[in-house]
Amino acid sequence: QNSGTSAAVATEDETYKFRLPSAASNFTAEVFGLLKAVQISSNNLQNQHIIFTDSISVIIATQQQYHGTGLIQ
């Protein structure tokens, strides 16, 4: 049984967990997690942020003009 896909963002103070629809792919979860990390860091008053990802496919997709997903713009 597929329990669905999820994404998480960990900060120094808190861990944010997000459940995605069960039809979401791993790629979509990786993109969603990166998007949430950017949003959370932009709302933080600190001047510097470091976002880590091991998803080379998401990094490549952010550099391409056509992405195939509405999450990368």
Residues of the chain with pLDDT under 50: 1
Chain-centroid distance of CA 59 in Å reads: 11
Per-residue pLDDT reduced to its tens digit, 50-62? 899 999 998 888 8
- Report whether 2 contacts 22 (CB < 8 A): yes
Give strand pairing partners of 17: 8
| DSSP at 16 | E
pTM of the entire predicted model = 0.77
Could you tell me which residues come within 8 angstroms of residue 7 by beta carbon, excluding any fewer than 6 positions away?
Answer: 17, 18, 20, 29, 30, 32, 33, 36
